[in-house]
């Protein structure tokens, strides 16, 4: 077994779990990145994957792999940067143990990430939210479950991974009703529940007790609902919601869109950005600042508050005779 294979085994069997305590999703992402990298290098260099060593994990080869992701696989710049982070993580851990490959490893670690543009946050309006919540068929068990799940998600802003991992022990519907979860970066947080959400969840939990397992939201056999199944259920309900709310057809709605909706509802209600960051489990307010750019009504209100005294509010309309207007200046 060569040095690269040894370093990969040490990282994924020991370091990632015991020293870094990385989440299962992060470890899976890092593993998949290295599998794709080794397959790419094996195909490009015509070397067996088990014979690849640090001497072929060079900056030009890694850059070629990253370009392959964008150009051939159609990955975004954000995905490219995520793959680069995974490569750096393993090489950074291996560097002290293999000084003979320091020159090659340092050059890879110096590869800059691709600059990206952050799109405007997409969220649901109150009318669109009501249409989505009304879409599940509440004559069926799955429909009542989906309605409760969507209502909880829109009110709390939990991530899809956090929703899927909830158990009975994470919800308290008594005094000080709240939901507890362990989110991104192992950060634990508690999110309060509104009276309407408590009512919905009380009704749901009464029926949920007839199914096995401890997952808060489960499938027919009591197993936790998966991420793919959850997105599939959302897509199905969106089709129904679009019949009553046509504006949904112009939006790409995912479970993360519901999280954005939570943040925008809080922001429009006047909640401070720092509090919203805590609510969503952000490590700082930089991630939350994106919501400040999303709502045009808030920006229009800012313009209205800063107009000069004596100026009537409204949209600017030029004079009908523009030449006469220019002459009068």
Q: List, by residue number, the catalytic residues.
A: 159, 184, 256, 259, 282, 291
Whether 75 contacts 69, CB under 8 Å: yes
Other beta carbons within 10 Å of 69: 21
Integer Cα distance of 201 and 261 in angstroms: 20
For the record, the structure tokens of 60 come out as: 């030009």
Integer Cα distance of 173 and 197 in angstroms: 9
Whether 121 contacts 127, CB under 8 Å: no
- Collect all residues with Cβ–Cβ distance below 8 Å to 234 and sequence separation of at least 6: 150, 253, 254, 255
Other beta carbons within 10 Å of 234: 22
Sequential DSSP letters for 15-57: IIIIIS---HHHHHHHHHHHHHHHHHHHHHHT--GGG--GGG-
Integer Cα distance of 251 and 248 in angstroms: 5
Integer Cα distance of 223 and 112 in angstroms: 42
Integer Cα distance of 299 and 55 in angstroms: 54
- Edge-to-edge strand ranges of the sheet holding 171-172: 171-172, 178-182, 188-192
Strand residue runs (E) in the chain: 171-172, 178-182, 188-192
């Amino acid at each position: 077994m060569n040095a690269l294979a040894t370093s990969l085994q040490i990282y994924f069997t020991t370091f990632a779990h015991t020293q870094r305590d990385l989440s299962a999703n992060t470890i899976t992402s890092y593993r998949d990145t290295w599998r794709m990298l080794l397959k790419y290098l094996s195909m490009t260099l015509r070397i067996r994957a088990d014979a690849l060593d640090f001497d072929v994990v060079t900056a030009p080869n890694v850059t070629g792999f990253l370009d392959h992701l964008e150009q051939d696989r159609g990955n975004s710049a954000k995905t490219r940067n995520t793959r680069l982070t995974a490569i750096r993580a393993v090489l950074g851990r291996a560097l002290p143990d293999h000084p003979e490959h320091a020159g090659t490893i340092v050059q890879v670690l110096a590869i800059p990430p691709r600059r990206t543009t952050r799109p405007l946050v997409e969220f649901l309006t109150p009318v669109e939210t009501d249409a989505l919540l009304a879409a599940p068929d509440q004559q069926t068990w799955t429909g009542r479950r989906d309605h409760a799940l969507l209502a909880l998600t829109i009110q709390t802003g939990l991530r899809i991974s956090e929703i899927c991992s909830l158990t009975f022990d994470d919800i308290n519907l008594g005094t000080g009703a709240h939901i507890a979860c362990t989110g991104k970066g192992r950060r634990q947080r508690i999110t309060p529940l509104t009276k309407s959400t408590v009512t919905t969840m009380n009704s749901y939990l009464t029926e949920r007790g007839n199914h096995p397992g401890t997952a808060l939201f489960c499938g027919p056999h009591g197993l936790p609902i998966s991420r793919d199944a959850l997105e599939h259920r959302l897509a199905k309900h969106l089709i129904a919601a679009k019949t009553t709310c046509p504006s949904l057809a112009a939006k790409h709605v995912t479970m993360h869109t519901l999280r954005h909706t939570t943040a925008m509802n809080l922001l429009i209600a006047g909640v401070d950005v720092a509090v919203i960051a805590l609510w969503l489990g952000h490590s700082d307010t930089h991630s939350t600042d994106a919501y400040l750019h999303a709502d045009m009504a808030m920006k229009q209100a800012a313009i209205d508050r800063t107009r000069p005294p004596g100026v009537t509010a409204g949209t600017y309309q030029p004079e009908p005779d523009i030449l006469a207007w220019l002459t009068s200046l």
